Amino acid sequence: MSDETPSTGMKSAYELALERLERQGIERPREDSLSDEVRAKMAEARSIAEARLAELEIMYRQRRSKARTALEADELERDYLEDRRRVEAERDRKIETLRDTR
Protein backbone atom coordinates (compact mmCIF):
# COMPACT_ATOMS: atom_id res chain seq x y z
CA MET A 1 0.00 0.00 0.00
CA SER A 2 1.26 3.46 -0.84
CA ASP A 3 1.83 6.19 1.76
CA GLU A 4 0.60 8.81 -0.70
CA THR A 5 -2.71 10.49 -0.09
CA PRO A 6 -5.33 9.00 -2.43
CA SER A 7 -6.84 12.23 -3.71
CA THR A 8 -3.71 14.07 -4.81
CA GLY A 9 -0.76 11.70 -4.65
CA MET A 10 1.08 14.39 -2.67
CA LYS A 11 2.60 13.75 0.74
CA SER A 12 2.55 16.23 3.56
CA ALA A 13 5.74 17.65 5.02
CA TYR A 14 5.10 15.58 8.13
CA GLU A 15 4.84 12.34 6.15
CA LEU A 16 8.06 13.13 4.28
CA ALA A 17 9.82 13.90 7.57
CA LEU A 18 8.69 10.57 9.02
CA GLU A 19 10.08 8.74 5.98
CA ARG A 20 13.44 10.51 6.40
CA LEU A 21 13.56 9.48 10.06
CA GLU A 22 12.82 5.86 9.15
CA ARG A 23 15.62 5.86 6.56
CA GLN A 24 17.94 7.00 9.36
CA GLY A 25 16.78 4.12 11.53
CA ILE A 26 14.66 6.25 13.86
CA GLU A 27 11.28 4.79 14.75
CA ARG A 28 8.06 6.71 14.00
CA PRO A 29 6.41 8.36 17.01
CA ARG A 30 3.69 6.15 18.43
CA GLU A 31 0.31 7.80 18.67
CA ASP A 32 -0.90 5.24 21.20
CA SER A 33 1.29 6.99 23.79
CA LEU A 34 -0.85 10.11 23.40
CA SER A 35 -3.89 10.83 25.54
CA ASP A 36 -7.37 10.53 24.09
CA GLU A 37 -7.78 14.30 24.35
CA VAL A 38 -4.60 14.97 22.36
CA ARG A 39 -5.56 12.39 19.72
CA ALA A 40 -8.99 14.00 19.40
CA LYS A 41 -7.42 17.43 18.93
CA MET A 42 -5.06 16.00 16.32
CA ALA A 43 -7.97 14.41 14.49
CA GLU A 44 -9.83 17.73 14.59
CA ALA A 45 -6.79 19.55 13.13
CA ARG A 46 -6.61 16.97 10.34
CA SER A 47 -10.34 17.24 9.68
CA ILE A 48 -10.27 21.03 9.51
CA ALA A 49 -7.28 20.93 7.16
CA GLU A 50 -9.00 18.38 4.89
CA ALA A 51 -12.08 20.59 4.69
CA ARG A 52 -9.94 23.63 3.85
CA LEU A 53 -8.03 21.66 1.21
CA ALA A 54 -11.29 20.49 -0.37
CA GLU A 55 -12.57 24.06 -0.42
CA LEU A 56 -9.35 25.27 -2.05
CA GLU A 57 -9.57 22.57 -4.71
CA ILE A 58 -13.18 23.41 -5.55
CA MET A 59 -12.38 27.11 -5.85
CA TYR A 60 -9.30 26.34 -7.94
CA ARG A 61 -11.23 24.17 -10.38
CA GLN A 62 -13.94 26.79 -10.76
CA ARG A 63 -11.42 29.56 -11.43
CA ARG A 64 -9.35 27.40 -13.74
CA SER A 65 -12.37 26.58 -15.89
CA LYS A 66 -12.82 30.33 -16.40
CA ALA A 67 -9.16 31.04 -17.18
CA ARG A 68 -8.76 32.63 -20.59
CA THR A 69 -5.06 32.07 -21.16
CA ALA A 70 -2.49 29.43 -20.31
CA LEU A 71 -0.56 32.06 -18.37
CA GLU A 72 -3.61 32.81 -16.23
CA ALA A 73 -4.17 29.06 -15.66
CA ASP A 74 -0.52 28.63 -14.63
CA GLU A 75 -0.78 31.51 -12.17
CA LEU A 76 -3.95 30.04 -10.67
CA GLU A 77 -2.21 26.67 -10.28
CA ARG A 78 0.81 28.25 -8.58
CA ASP A 79 -1.49 30.08 -6.16
CA TYR A 80 -3.46 26.89 -5.50
CA LEU A 81 -0.33 24.83 -4.78
CA GLU A 82 1.04 27.55 -2.50
CA ASP A 83 -2.24 27.65 -0.57
CA ARG A 84 -2.22 23.84 -0.26
CA ARG A 85 1.32 23.87 1.12
CA ARG A 86 0.37 26.60 3.60
CA VAL A 87 -2.67 24.66 4.89
CA GLU A 88 -0.67 21.40 5.10
CA ALA A 89 2.20 23.13 6.93
CA GLU A 90 -0.23 24.75 9.36
CA ARG A 91 -1.87 21.35 10.00
CA ASP A 92 1.50 19.68 10.53
CA ARG A 93 2.63 22.48 12.86
CA LYS A 94 -0.52 22.12 14.98
CA ILE A 95 -0.13 18.35 15.17
CA GLU A 96 3.54 18.62 16.10
CA THR A 97 2.68 21.15 18.81
CA LEU A 98 0.07 18.78 20.21
CA ARG A 99 2.51 15.88 20.05
CA ASP A 100 5.12 17.92 21.98
CA THR A 101 2.68 18.81 24.79
CA ARG A 102 2.30 15.21 26.00
Give tens-digit pLDDT for 12-58: 888 888 888 888 888 776 656 788 898 899 999 999 999 999 999 99
Q: Determine the pLDDT at residue 68.
A: 96
Q: Residue 4 pLDDT > 70, yes or no? A: no
- Using CA atoms, how far apart are residues 9 and 1, in angstroms rounded to an integer? 13
Least confidently predicted of 8-12, 57-61, 75-79: 8-12
Instruction: Tell me the pTM.
Output: 0.66
Tally of CA atoms within 13 A in the half-sphere of 87 that contains its CB = 20
Residue 102: what pLDDT? Answer: 60
